[in-house]
């Protein structure tokens, strides 16, 4: 049985999982069957120039702390995954999503939408320019979420499909978040936290496009994510 970095479906502290968690054991296919099943062909999802820069495309610059968020998409053997589709979405610097489902406690920013896309390069690198989203409170009775950016990834196979969230080092809410804490292994939780990169941040050069650099690698589940004794 493969050790699983993923959270279980049921995590009672995150109340809504109680009725939304499959209870029957997942049907396991012989090794290699799913890992070689091609993933979705995502070519109809358009990736246009500038889709990786969430700070442009409006009348002016968005409110908030500018970030560059870069990293590599890797398979379980540590090799870069080229041509992976990365889709991101996030709240603005006040904690408001432009999505119609947002409860609307916080103001919209007319200069920020909060959705981006890119394809990884030949070495699996991705890069987004954006602003740091704020932590936000949901409707009454729901949790206060740490600042996060949602990531959706399409690799090459069915097992390389992932939706997750990227958090930011130093956020005191992370350790109290039931969605984070549903991940059983503390190392797994750490893997979702982007780190400030002083090397890449233009700390001494200034300029109106200066951005704090954060790095975050994403490791997709691939063929060798199963234990070696398998």
Partner 1 sequence: MTSDQSPSQTIGPMYGFALCEEGMDRAVAPDDPHAVTVTGVLLDGDGEPIQHPDALIEVWQGEQFARCRTDAFGRWSVLVRKPAQVPPLPGGKAQAPHLNVTVWARGLMKQAQTRLYFPDEAARNADDPVLALVEADRRPLLVAERESDRVLRFDIRIQGPRETVFFDF
Give the integer Cα–Cα distance in Å for 87 and 41. 14
* CA angle, residues 220, 90, 210, in degrees to nearest 5: 95
Q: Residue 210: CB partners within 8 Å, gap ≥ 6? A: 66, 201, 202
Residue 148 a catalytic site member: yes
Give the nearer residue to partner 1 in terms of CB position, either 98 or 201: 98
Residue 136 a catalytic site member: yes
Answer yes or no: are the C-beta atoms of 63 and 93 closer than 8 Å: yes
Pick the catalytic residue: 148, 167, 189, 221? 148
Give the nearer residue to partner 1 in terms of CB position, either 8 or 170: 8
Give the nearer residue to partner 1 in terms of CB position, either 64 or 114: 114
Which of 77, 70, 220 is CA-nearest to residue 154? 220
Give the integer Cα–Cα distance in Å for 128 and 215. 10
Give the nearer residue to partner 1 in terms of CB position, either 141 or 207: 141
Residue 132 a catalytic site member: no
Whole-number minimum distance, CB 212 to partner 1, in Å? 22
Residue 176 a catalytic site member: no
Whole-number minimum distance, CB 202 to partner 1, in Å? 28
3-state secondary structure of 179: helix
Pick the catalytic residue: 14, 136, 167, 214? 136
Whole-number minimum distance, CB 210 to partner 1, in Å? 26
Give the integer Cα–Cα distance in Å for 164 and 134. 18
Whole-number minimum distance, CB 24 to partner 1, in Å? 5
Which of 8, 50, 14, 46 is CA-nearest to residue 26? 8
Active site residues: 97, 136, 145, 148, 150
């Amino acid at each position: 049985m493969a050790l699983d970095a993923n959270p279980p479906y049921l995590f009672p502290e995150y109340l809504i999982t109680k009725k939304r968690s499959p209870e029957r054991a997942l049907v396991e296919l012989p090794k290699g069957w799913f890992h070689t099943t091609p993933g979705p062909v995502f070519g109809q999802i358009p990736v246009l120039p500038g889709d990786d820069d969430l700070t442009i495309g409006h009348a002016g610059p968005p409110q908030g702390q500018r970030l560059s968020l870069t990293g590599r998409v890797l398979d379980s053997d540590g090799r870069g995954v080229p041509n992976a589709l990365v889709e991101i979405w996030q709240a603005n610097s006040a904690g408001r999503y432009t999505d119609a489902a947002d409860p609307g406690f916080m103001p919209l920013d007319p200069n920020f939408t909060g959705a981006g896309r890119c394809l990884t390069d030949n070495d699996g690198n991705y890069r987004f320019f954006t602003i740091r989203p704020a932590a936000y409170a949901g409707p009454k009775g729901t949790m206060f979420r740490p600042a996060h950016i949602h990531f959706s990834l399409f690799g090459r196979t069915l097992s390389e499909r992932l939706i997750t969230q990227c958090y930011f080092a130093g956020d005191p809410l992370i350790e109290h978040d039931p969605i984070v804490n549903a991940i059983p292994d503390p190392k797994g939780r750490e893997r979702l936290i982007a780190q400030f990169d002083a090397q890449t941040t233009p700390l001494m050069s200034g300029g109106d496009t200066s951005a704090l650099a954060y790095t975050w690698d994403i490791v997709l589940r691939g063929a060798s994510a199963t234990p070696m004794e398998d």
